[in-house]
Amino acid sequence: MADEQIDDKQIGKEKRSMMGEWVKVRVLGKGSYGVVTLAVNSEDPSLPSIAVKSSRLEDSHSLESLEKEKRILDHLYGSPHILAFLTDTVSFDDQLGGWAYDLCLEYVPGGSLSDLIKKRGGHLPEREVQDYTMMILKGLCGVHEKGYVHCDLKPDNILVLPLQDGTNYLKIADFGLAKESGEEKQYGDYFRFRFRGTPLYMSPESFLFGEIEWGLDIWSLGCVVVEMLTGKHAMRWVGDVRRNLESECAFVMQQPNIPEYMSDLGKDFLTRCFARNPRERWTAEMLLNHPYLLPEMAVMSATNSMQVRQGWCSLFEDGSYRVVMLAVNSKDASLPSIAVKSSRMEDSHSLESLEKEKRILDHLYDSPHILTFLADIVSFDD
């Protein structure tokens, strides 16, 4: 699903230029921060609806959360997989019973990813999960590049935009708990105790020690992937968590629930998300290049790739620098064949040539008239 299908910058420019009267017509949700309502333009009903997130002006904690969300969303404006911030204002809100601070946001009519999982019977097909995971990672790349950590990534905070072709487009929302660059310096040790996330999606180091870095979002992503596949949490409650140290340690020491029926590459992907040492956890950018997220024809493990080449191969070209072989998947013959270009490890000139080709094709990935690079591997070649 190409990002070009959604032009958030253009949508945002149109909405930011609206000068009509906006009327709140329906409550979409409520939370500790306040209320989210659907708003329509009474002067021009043809304009797209917007979502308005509001909190009472005298509620300093909620107001601080919304102001932080406004700063972050404004900085991330134009990122296609991040909910678009449009403008802010102050209004009298009947639901809150007083004057409120309003964030005007892009309206995404498909509900949350959590809603989608429930509507689909409690789990999603793995191929669809791969597509959605790539979208979430693209959003996280933008978040982390700007120096933020979302801190509360979960299906409830990922919104679903239905497209005309019947597919869905995901957007990350709710940055009220996000970490901004420099917060540790501003708050000191108090910063660790300010954090309030959702324990079932928190990494061990953030749950026990309040360490909040990009690795927290990656662990949370792994939890989201498991939930998309199974409809269940990757982690389970152990004892009275948050009441005693023994229960806390038992909670974080358990192994995340990785589905047995998941593909080998999918399991490997999740092990990269669930590395207990945050320094060994893969970044969002690294995970975007994991073979699990490559096109379907490339979805095979390194073991499968070896079996493919040993199972049946047909030579169709023999060049001076490499051999190109046709390879099929011996475990799943329905998968499309692939071409495998090989050179001997000790042939430094040929190896240098293939490594250069890999770098270039990787950079040109998704160009429709350029041959697609899928993955590289080391194997024994007869």
- Catalytic residue annotation: 152
Range of the domain at 131: 113-293
Q: Assign residue 61 the CATH number of its domain.
A: 3.30.200.20
Report d(CA 42, CA 50) in Å as an integer: 12
Residue 379 domain flag: no
Q: What is the pLDDT of residue 341?
A: 86
Q: Are residues 168 and 94 in the same domain?
A: no
Residue 234 DSSP label: S
CA distance 41 to 37: 13
User: Does 95 share its domain with 117?
Assistant: no
* Residues whose CB is less than 8 angstroms from the CB of residue 126 and which lie 6 or more positions away in sequence, other chains included: 229, 262, 263, 266
Same structural domain for residues 154 and 286? yes
Digit-coded pLDDT (tens) for 259-301: 999 998 899 999 999 999 999 999 999 999 898 997 653 444 4
Say if 210 falls within a structural domain. Answer: yes
- Residues 103/70, Cβ–Cβ less than 8 Å: yes
372 in any annotated domain? no
130 shares a domain with 67: no
- Give the model's pLDDT for residue 337: 82
Q: Write the DSSP symbol of residue 331.
A: S
Domain count within the chain: 3
Residue pointed to by tokens 């064949």? 337
Q: Is residue 48 a part of any domain in this protein? A: yes
Q: Is position 371 within any domain?
A: no
In this structure, the answer to whether residues 130 and 279 fall within a common structural domain is yes
Which CATH number is 277's domain given? 1.10.510.10
Residue 235 lies in a domain: yes
CA 39, CA 73: separation in Å to the nearest integer? 19
Interaxial angle between packed helices 214-230 and 126-145, expressed in degrees from 0 to 180 and rounded to the nearest 10: 160
Token pair belonging to 268: 């490997």
Q: How far apart are CA 249 and CA 276, in angstroms?
A: 13
Q: What is the Cα Rg of the chain in Å?
A: 24
Residue 376 lies in a domain: no
Q: What is the pTM of this model?
A: 0.72
Q: Is the same domain home to 68 and 23?
A: yes
From CA 159, how far away is CA 4, in angstroms rounded?
18
48 and 33 belong to one structural domain: yes
> Are residues 264 and 347 both part of a single domain?
no
Element (H, E) at 126: helix 126-145
Q: Among 274, 293, 312, which residue terminates a domain?
A: 293
Of 74, 66, 72, the closest CA to residue 101 belongs to 66
Q: Is 254 found in the same domain as 135?
A: yes
Residue 314 covered by a domain: yes
Taking the CA atoms of 112, 118, 122 and 128 in sequence, report the sign of the dihedral they define: negative
Answer yes or no: do 237 and 95 share one domain. Answer: no
Per the annotation, does 9 bind a ligand?
no
- For residue range 308-343, list pLDDT tens digits in order: 333 333 333 434 345 787 888 777 677 788 888 887
Q: Does 99 lie in the same domain as 139?
A: no
Give bridge partners of residue 314 from the DSSP assignment: 326
The 22-31 sheet, strands edge to edge: 22-31, 34-41, 50-56, 98-106, 85-93
Q: Quick one: 246 and 315 in the same domain?
A: no
Contacts for 182 with CB less than 8 Å, ≥ 6 apart:
none
Q: For the chain, list residues with pLDDT below 50.
A: 1-20, 185, 190-194, 297-321
What is the distance, to the nearest Å, from the Cα of residue 317 to the centroid of all Cα atoms in its chain?
Answer: 40
User: Whose CA is closest to 144, among 98, 56, 201, 76?
Assistant: 76
Q: Which amino acid is at 159?
A: L
Q: Which of 293, 311, 344 is the last residue of a domain?
A: 293
Q: What is the pLDDT of residue 1?
A: 42
The domain boundary residue, chosen from 59, 86, 106:
106
